Amino acid sequence: MNIKKFEARSIKEALEMVKTQLGPDAVILSAKEVTKGFGLGGVKSVEITAAYSENVLKQKQYVQSKMPDHLKSQFDQVAAKLQKEVIKKTIETKIAQTQQAQKTQTFNAPVTQKKYIEIDEETLPVTAAPAVDMRRMPYQQNRVQMTEQVQKAWSNMEVDQLKNEISELKKLMTQFKPVPQSFVQGHPGSELGVHYQLSPYYSELIDKGLIPEVASDILVQAQNQLESNKLKESSVIQTWIGKYILNSVPVVSGGFEQFHLFMGPSGSGKTTSMVKLASQLLIQHKRRVALISTDTIKVGADQQMKIFSEILNLPFISIRNPQDWNKVIPYLSQVDHVLVDFASFSLRNKEEIHYLQKMMPPVYDSLRTHLVLSAKSKDAELSEMARKYEQLHVDDVIFTALDEAMQFGSIYNFVRQTNKPLFGFGIGAKVPEDFERATAERVVDLILRITQSQQAQEVLV
């Protein structure tokens, strides 16, 4: 058993070198990442230590020597399992042809030359010592018996050699640490189809909060659409990522329906977002606005809304049961926008869903339902809320607490997974300043932190 080391840029390239140079039966003993140089400028590579059998390697070289030139390179690229099958089949065919030729030569040999043959036992392998006195056997029978004994001897020798190689391999394996499974997967994103050159951008997107499926999809699209020489240019890749996110973020362009329903889990900033939007419609757009609360679950919820309405000098109505809508609807035709606050539920059971459904206004046109979520929530929580509130026919999403969130990749993950457009953002506690309508440009800036980077550069200058 022999040992050889290989070094390449990635684990995939190193494994290909092992298979090409040592044959399909080579065994990986260890693998490690090597950095040449110091600091961020150091060049990283992968070093693999492999063990191989000289006999198997010679068999592969023999099989390749019988192939046309155009097939040799293709043979190195196929899977190791297929290489083994081709080598095995070729060797077996060659052995069968050789044995057939020997038998033909033996039985066609002239028998008149010698009646008997003399055999020196010392020329045979030790394990092939004849059980009978072959020196006094007729020539033809002697030759057949000798061939069988020699073949049996070689077979025993091959088994002994294989046992010795296995024993040596076991000794070597104790000297090396096992290859970590996470390391064998290669560079970040490789299992999702991300090219080695784009691996740093994959890690960067993951750090910004994008989930692996979304981050890899962006970079795979870049690989397919950009020329290979462009993949080495950092500015080109970063610009392409920004444009891709910009073009794939759905936002609400209008959103001036008469009825706006605000729903969401507890603590998401639902009521605050509703008051901020009402203030903007009143102050900036000079619209007539009415506030309605249907929350009969939370103690003091309608009193809090009543205080806001008095501050803004807006009409306020509290809906206690579904029948109250029939009394209120006729008077709402005098206002431009009706903003309705609903009870905060996580929709853990059907009763909560049924309660929200029965408290909805009996109108079917000029109505928009907003799902209000916190940007601080985890991806799994956001996906679960989207799935549950889908039963209430949500039209768009408002993300709040942008001033408290550390990363904003979850916003992009959400719209990619649900295809729900963004309506607005809550960016602070001030009313109405800290509420803004959503734009794709704002999402790109939040995720890639373009504004923060520019501000940091200005400070350094």
pLDDT the model gives residue 33:
78
Minimum mean pLDDT among 2-6, 294-298, 425-429: which range?
2-6
E strand spans, 342-448: 367-374, 396-400, 422-426, 435-437
As a whole number of angstroms, the distance between CA 371 and CA 377 comes to 14
Do 268 and 372 form a contact (C-beta atoms < 8 A)?
Answer: yes
As a whole number of angstroms, the distance between CA 370 and CA 339 comes to 11
Q: Reading across the β-sheet that carries 435-437, which strands appear in turn?
A: 316-318, 289-293, 337-341, 259-263, 367-374, 396-400, 422-426, 435-437
Do 339 and 274 form a contact (C-beta atoms < 8 A)?
Answer: yes
**Residue 124 — pLDDT band, cuts 50, 70, 90?**
very low
Centre a 10 Å sphere on the Cβ of residue 28 and count the other Cβ atoms it contains: 18
Q: Which long-range contacts (CB under 8 A, 24 or more apart) does 364-368 make?
A: 366/257, 366/258, 366/259, 367/257, 367/258, 367/259, 367/261, 368/255, 368/257, 368/259, 368/260, 368/261, 368/395, 368/396, 368/423
Could you tell me which of 365, 356, 429, 435 has the C-alpha nearest to residue 388? Answer: 356
Whether residue 9 is predicted with pLDDT greater than 60 in this model: the reply is yes
CA distances from 243 to 75, 162, 280, 344, 440 (A): 42, 60, 30, 37, 10
- The 10s digit of each residue's pLDDT in 413-447 is 999 999 999 999 999 888 888 999 999 999 999 99
Whether residue 12 is predicted with pLDDT greater than 90 in this model: the reply is no
Q: Which residues pair with 32 in a beta bridge?
A: 47
More reliable by pLDDT, 430 or 361: 361
As a whole number of angstroms, the distance between CA 326 and CA 408 comes to 42
pLDDT the model gives residue 254:
85
DSSP β-ladder status, 27-36 and 43-52: antiparallel
Q: What are phi and psi of 404, to 5 degrees?
A: -105, -15
As a whole number of angstroms, the distance between CA 142 and CA 145 comes to 5
Do 184 and 31 form a contact (C-beta atoms < 8 A)?
Answer: yes
Name the range with the highest mean pLDDT among 18-22, 151-155, 412-416.
412-416
- The CATH number fitting domain 259-460, selected from 3.40.50.300, 1.10.10.10, 1.10.287.610, 3.40.50.170: 3.40.50.300
pLDDT the model gives residue 86:
79
Return the SS3 of 299. coil
- The 10s digit of each residue's pLDDT in 169-185 is 676 666 655 555 444 45
Do 401 and 427 form a contact (C-beta atoms < 8 A)?
Answer: no
pLDDT the model gives residue 184:
47
E strand spans, 23-99: 27-36, 43-52
Share of the chain above pLDDT 70, in %: 78
**Residue 290 — pLDDT band, cuts 50, 70, 90?**
very high
pLDDT the model gives residue 247:
96
Alpha helices in 263-319 (DSSP H): 270-283, 301-312
DSSP β-ladder status, 2-8 and 337-341: unpaired
**Residue 53 — pLDDT band, cuts 50, 70, 90?**
confident
Do 118 and 94 form a contact (C-beta atoms < 8 A)?
Answer: no
pTM of the model: 0.60
- The 10s digit of each residue's pLDDT in 88-118 is 788 788 788 777 777 676 556 555 444 444 4
**Residue 58 — pLDDT band, cuts 50, 70, 90?**
confident
Helical axes 212-225 vs 234-247, angle rounded to 10°: 120
pLDDT the model gives residue 155:
62
pLDDT the model gives residue 384:
95
